[in-house]
Amino acid sequence: MIIPDKTTPPPMRLAWRIWGIGALFYLMAFFQRVSPAVMTDALMRDFQIGAAALGNLSALYFYSYVAMQIPTGIIADRWGPRRLLSFGALVAGVGALLFALAPGMFLVGAGRLLIGGSVAVAFVGLLQLTNNWFPPRYYAMAAGMALFVGIIGAVCAGPPLRLLVDQYGWRGTILVSSLATFAIAAAIWIVVRDHPQDRGFADWNRSGQNRSPSERLSVMAGLREVLRYRNTLLLFLIPGGVVGPVLTFSGLWGVPYLTTHHGLRPAWASALTTTLLVAWAVGGPFFGWLSDHTGRRKPLYIAGCALALAGWAVAIYSKHLPLTALLVVLVITGFSSGCMIISFAFVKESVPASLSGTATGVVNMGVMSGPMVLQPLVGWMLDLRWNGQLADGARLYGLDAYQAGFSLMIAWTVLAVILLCFTRETRCRPLV
C-alpha cells in the first residue's frame, strides 16, 4: 500500500500508473487515426463513395486535429490534464459511436470530425502528466514512451483490426472501440490526478502551476511573434512532406494499393503498412539521438528526407518489385522518415525560450497538415484516373492512377528537401 507523504515526491510505480492510464487514450488516438486504411473497400461500398470522398472522410480527423493544436495548449493550462484527457476521451467515444452507427455520410463525417478534434488533446495532456508526475530526468524517456504507445495503437489498427472487420464487420468493430474509449474516459477521471499533491505527495515540478490568465493568453500573442523567425515557417511546411506520405500510405491508400497491384490479402497488406509505421517509430528516437550526438540538425534532417524520398520513388514506380524487396524498401522509407522528430528540437532552438511552446505547437500543426492535405488529394487523383472498374460495388483503381496519386506525396517530400536547404543551422544550441 502506498502511504501519502506530503514531504516526499510520489513513488515511481504510482507515477507510471497515472501516466499509463493517460497513455491508453493516446493509444486509442493513433488507432482511430489509421483505422480507415483497413476498411476502405467496406466504407466505399456501404456509402457508395469514390476515392475522393473517402479521402475527405478520413481527412476530417486531421482537419479538426490541426485546428485544435493551439487552443489545446491554452485549454490544458486552464483545465489540467485530468479534465482535459477525460473530457477528450468522452467526446472521442461519442465520435466513434456516431461513426459506427451512422446511416449516411453526414453523421459518419461528423463522427470522424469529433474524433480528430477530441484526440488532439491526448499528446498534450500526456506530456503534462509527464511533467507533473516525473522528475525532470525522466521527461525525455517518458515522452519517447508516449510515441511508442501511440504506435502500438497504430499496430492494433493494422492486421488485428482487419481480422476483426472480416469477422464482425466494420460497424461492430468500431462500436467496440467506442465502448473502450468510454471506459478509458472513466478510468482517467477516477484514477488520474493533475499533480502529486492531489494524492498527498510533494510535487516534482512547481513551475507553471500558478500562471495567470494573462500569461496563458500570451500563447496566442506569441503566435505572430514566432512566425517572424524564418525557421518556424519552414519547419511548419517541411514535416508535412515527411509524415504526410507515411500516414497517407499506411493510414488510407496503402492497403488497397498493395491488394490490387501486389496481389496481397488485406491482412498481409495491412501488416506491410504496419511495418512501415513500426520502422517510423524506431527511426524517430534514432535520428533524435544522432542529431544530439553530432550537434547538428540540418544535415541529418536533409539526409533522412532524401533517403525517404528515394524509398518512396522505388516503392511507387517499380512495377515488378518482389515482395521481400518491397518490404525492405518500406522499412528503410519508414525508418528514414523518423528524421521528422528533429523538427521539434530544431524549432525550439530557433526561437527565444519564451516562445518555444508556441513554436512547438506550430510545428505539430505542420506535421498533421501533411496527411490532412494529402489523403483527400490522392483520393481526388485516383477518381480522376478511374477507368470505371468495380469489385463488389467498390471502385478499383489502376496502377497508373495510384502512381499519379502517390506522385503528390513525392512532390511534397521534394519540396521538404528544398526548404531544408534554406533553414538556419542551430548546432543544438538555444537562441540567445
209 within domain boundaries? no
Domain finish residue from 201, 226, 261: 201
> What is the per-residue pLDDT for 285?
79
Rounding to the nearest 10 degrees, give the CA dihedral for residues 36, 37, 42, 46: 40
206 within domain boundaries? no
Rounded to 5 degrees, φ, ψ at 29 are -60, -45
Residue 313 and residue 375 in one domain? yes
Query: How far is the C-alpha of 402 from the C-alpha of 385, rounded, in Å?
Result: 9
Residue 197 and residue 246 in one domain? no
Burial 382-406 (b: 16+ CB within 10 A, else e): bbebbeeeeeeebbbbeeebbbbbb
Q: DSSP states of 341-386 as a string?
A: GHHHHHHHTTS-GGGHHHHHHHHHHHHHHHHHHHHHHHHHHHHHT-
**300: domain CATH number?**
1.20.1250.20
Asked if 304 and 334 count as a contact pair (C-beta separation under 8 A), the reply is no
Rounding to the nearest 10 degrees, give the CA dihedral for residues 324, 325, 327, 330: 180
Residue 236 and residue 195 in one domain? no
Q: Classify the C-alpha dihedral 170-176-181-182 as positive or negative.
A: positive
> What is the per-residue pLDDT for 208?
43
262 within domain boundaries? yes
252 within domain boundaries? yes
Domain finish residue from 159, 180, 201: 201
Residue 37, exposed/middle/buried by CB under 10 A (0-12, 13-18, 19+)? Answer: buried
Read off the pLDDT of residues 244-300 as tens digits, 9 standing for 90 and up.
999 999 888 998 999 988 888 888 898 899 899 889 988 887 888 888 888 899 999
Residue 323 and residue 410 in one domain? yes
**In Å, how far from its chain's centre is CA 17?**
23
Domain finish residue from 177, 201, 225: 201
Residue 183 and residue 278 in one domain? no
Residue 391 and residue 243 in one domain? yes
**Amino acid found at 181:** T
**Amino acid found at 279:** A
Residue 265 and residue 358 in one domain? yes
Q: Which three cell numbers stand for residue 395?
A: 471502385
Asked if 177 and 156 count as a contact pair (C-beta separation under 8 A), the reply is no
Write the CB contacts of 2 (distance below 8 Å, at least 6 apart in sequence).
11, 13, 14
Task: Please state the domain count of the chain.
Answer: 2
Query: How far is the C-alpha of 381 from the C-alpha of 385, rounded, in Å?
Result: 6
C-beta neighbour count of 109 within 10 angstroms: 17
Residue 22 and residue 51 in one domain? yes
Residue 178 and residue 251 in one domain? no
First to last CA, the chain: 48
Residue 398 and residue 305 in one domain? yes
Q: Which three cell numbers stand for residue 286?
A: 534514432
**Amino acid found at 203:** D
**Amino acid found at 418:** I
Residue 3, exposed/middle/buried by CB under 10 A (0-12, 13-18, 19+)? Answer: exposed
**Nearest CA-CA partner of 398 in 410, 409, 411, 382:** 382
208 within domain boundaries? no
> What is the per-residue pLDDT for 424?
95
Residue 263 and residue 228 in one domain? yes
Query: How far is the C-alpha of 303 from the C-alpha of 310, rounded, in Å?
Result: 11
Query: How far is the C-alpha of 89 from the C-alpha of 25, rounded, in Å?
Result: 7
Query: How far is the C-alpha of 331 from the C-alpha of 295, rounded, in Å?
Result: 26
C-beta neighbour count of 426 within 10 angstroms: 19
Q: What is the pLDDT along the chain (432 residues), one digit of tens a residue?
A: 556 666 677 888 898 999 999 999 999 988 988 788 788 888 988 998 888 888 888 888 888 988 887 777 667 767 888 999 999 999 999 999 999 999 999 999 999 999 998 888 887 788 778 778 888 666 556 666 777 788 888 888 878 888 898 889 999 999 999 999 999 999 999 999 988 888 888 877 554 444 444 444 455 676 788 889 999 999 999 999 999 999 999 888 998 999 988 888 888 898 899 899 889 988 887 888 888 888 899 999 999 999 999 999 999 998 788 999 999 999 999 999 989 888 877 888 898 877 766 777 788 789 889 998 999 999 999 999 998 887 777 788 999 999 999 999 999 999 999 999 999 999 888 786
Q: What is the pTM of this model?
A: 0.75
258 within domain boundaries? yes
> What is the per-residue pLDDT for 288?
82
Residue 190 and residue 145 in one domain? yes
The domain in which residue 125 lies consists of: 1-201
